[in-house]
Every structure is written in C-alpha cells, then in structure tokens.
Structure 1
Amino acid sequence: MLNFHPGSHLKQMPVDDCLNLIADSINLALEQTSGVKAVIECTAGQGSNLGYSFEQIAHIIDRVDDKSRVGVCIDTCHAFAAGYDLATAEGYAETWRQFDSAIGPGYLSAIHLNDSKKGLGSKVDRHAPLGEGTLGNEFFNMLMNDPRTDFIPIILETPDESLWPQEIARLYGMIK
C-alpha cells in the first residue's frame, strides 16, 4: 500500500477540478505499476487541502478506474479536526455510518492512530499523544474493540517516540 494525502487546490482551480486531477493522477500511477494499492488518507482540511470530507474522497474513488487498487486511511486526528465527532459513542457511530454511506466499508484500508491537540472541526492538523488531546480515552477504547479494524493495519502516529511502548501496551490493554 502507498498511503498519501490527496493534495491541495491552492486556490488555483475549482475543488471538483482538483479532485478530478487527483483521480487522474492515481489512474496514471496505477497504470504504470502493479501490486500496489493507492491509499488516500483523509486530511484535516487545513488551508486548501482536500480529502477532509468523505464525499471528497468518494469523488476521487468514483473516478479511479481500478477500484480494487484504491483504499482509504482514516487518520483519527485529521478526521476529528475535519469535523467527524469520533469522541462520543453517538458521533463515532455516525462517523462510520457516513463513511459507509459515502465511500463504502470495503475501502477502509488503514488507520493512523493519534490524539488531536485541537478541537472538533478545527481544521488544524496537530497530533497529540494518546489521552493528551481532545479525542478522549473512550474513543481509543471504541476503536480498539471495533471489528472493522480487526484486519487492517493500525499505525500509531503520535508525536513522542519515547511514549510509543506505553501507548501500544495501553491500546492492547483496552481490547476486550
């Protein structure tokens, strides 16, 4: 898998044109390769970054020719900062309902796991160590016990490497 942020329009073109250009670029890359899946990572929507809504990601996927070679990575900080309320049980369920409706559950390919320094809908991409941000501990408990994540990579992407062993142990300890 090759994980990437979709890109930015830099106020140089309309959003839909940029989303189409991203899809065209994915098609070009996939035509020239084999054995690689293009995994679109959701963004926080900072500046002119695209891919912060499930609808934008779906727009790109809809235009990719070989759908078997495209997937989505949910970055937990990015999704929360983009406005998807992962911190509450109701918001968590609604976020996945929206993902399934807009994109489809079969496209979930990876999780980048981190807390968020900034609040819900802030559009600011600032990762925080687990439990030291605004997502809250209940979110990590819900995710670690969510069957949809059983067979996909979950990549810890918190900013302090020295905490990784404790964070990983804590996550495994949440599994019921």
Structure 2
Amino acid sequence: HPGNYMDDREAGLLRNAAAYTRCLRAVPGSPVVLLETTAGCGTALGSTFEELAVLRSSIADDVRSRIAFCADTCHLYSAGYDLVGDYEGVWRAWDETLGLDQLRCLHLNDSKTKFASRRDRHELIGEGSLGPQPFRRIMTDPRLEHVIKILETPKGDDGVTADRKMLRRLRRYARGAEVPR
C-alpha cells in the first residue's frame, strides 16, 4: 500500500514520494515497486487513481520508471470504483489516469462490504457484494491478460483447499462456464 498521511493529505503524498525516491535510489538495479490501490480507510493514501498518479509523478525522474501499480478488486469497489455497474468505465478511467500499461498485478478478491464502503474486507470470489460478473470479465478481458493475478481471499481452516476452489472458479470464468457456488 502506498502509505498514510498524518495531518495533510497533499503533504503525505509528497512525503511518501520522497521516501520512495530515497528507497529506490538506495537499491541498485531495476526492481519495480508496485503501489497498490487502497479502500480509502482512514488516512490511507492511494484510494483514487488521481492520488496514485500524483504520488508517481512526485517521485524523482531518475527512479520513476521503477514504479507501477497493483489493483485490488475489493479495494477498488470499496473506494467507489463500480466494477459491477461500470466495469468499462473503471478501466477507461484507470487507462486515462495511470495507463493500463502500468497495471502489473491484480489482487483478486470479492468484498464483504457494500459499494463505496471504504472498508477493506475481502471475501471469496463471486460470494460477496461484487458477485461473479466482474471476475468473469477480468478473466476474459484481453486488456488484462498480461497482468499477473493473485488470489487474496479468506483461507479459513484449510488455505490450500480454499485456494484450489478459487482457482477452479477463476478457470471456469476464463472458459465462460457457469460456476456453482
């Protein structure tokens, strides 16, 4: 996550950009840091595409190319990006503000909370307030086929079994098949 602010959001963005600059300059080579979208809880930065763009553009030119983004589906939805009712609009806004070429990773998870709740509560894919449709679209969207996808769902008592269930579900979505809960 891109960090938090103390008193002033704008100052927090600049302070965190300076910290990222220092860290990237201290690490030789070309590893890329992915800034993840946040749900907008409290003083968390990065819940809007515009904030992420300001943060990236405030990082020094010599290391800025080592910053890209990770979008978390629960965080997007909780922050007010309607993947259910305006899927195309969300990705259009992302592309216009951050660039789809800068989206390197997707954390896939449903949400236990309602739209725009600003709460980060992950749910099993297709079983929360997002439901199955956005995940069907993500898994068949050619614009996102290059993007790494990582499960970030509740694990319960047996994480391996839970992850296998979610992977089977996502594979069925990718094939266009209906998925029993």
User: TM-score, normalised to structure 1's length?
Assistant: 0.91
Alignment match, 2:170: 171
User: What CA distance in whole angstroms lies between the structure 1 residues aligned with 2:33 and 2:23?
Assistant: 9
The separation in 2 between residues aligned to 1:50 and 1:68, in whole angstroms, is: 20
User: 1:80 aligned to 2:77?
Assistant: yes
Alignment partner of 1:7: what SS? coil
Distance in 2 between residues matched to 1:121 and 1:81, nearest whole Å: 4
Greater shift in the superposed pair: 162-171 or 53-62: 162-171
Deviations 1:69-101 (A, max 9, x none): 11010000001000000013xx11111111111
Unmatched runs of 5 consecutive residues or more in structure 2: 176-181
Shift of 1:47: 1.0
Is 1:106 aligned to 2:101, yes or no? yes
1:32-47 equivalent positions in 2, closer than 5 A: 32-33=26-27, 34-47=29-42
Structure 1, unaligned runs of 5 or more: none
Q: Deviations over 1:92-130 (max 9, x none)?
A: 111111111111122101000000000110000000011
Q: Is residue 2:58 matched to residue 1:63?
A: yes
Give 1:20's aligned residue: 14
Q: RMSD of aligned C-alpha atoms?
A: 1.1
Q: CA deviation at 1:158?
A: 0.2
Offset, 1:27: 0.9
The 4+ residue runs of structure 1 with deviation greater than 6 A are none
Instruction: Output the amino acid matched with 1:45.
Output: G
- Give the corresponding residue for 1:141: 136
Following the alignment from structure 1 to structure 2, what is the Cα–Cα distance between the partners of residues 110 and 38?
11
- Report how far residue 13 of structure 1 moved: 2.4
Partners of 1:132 and 1:174 lie apart in 2 by: 14
Query: Matched residues, percent identical?
Result: 37
Distance in 2 of aligned mates of 1:69 and 1:148: 21
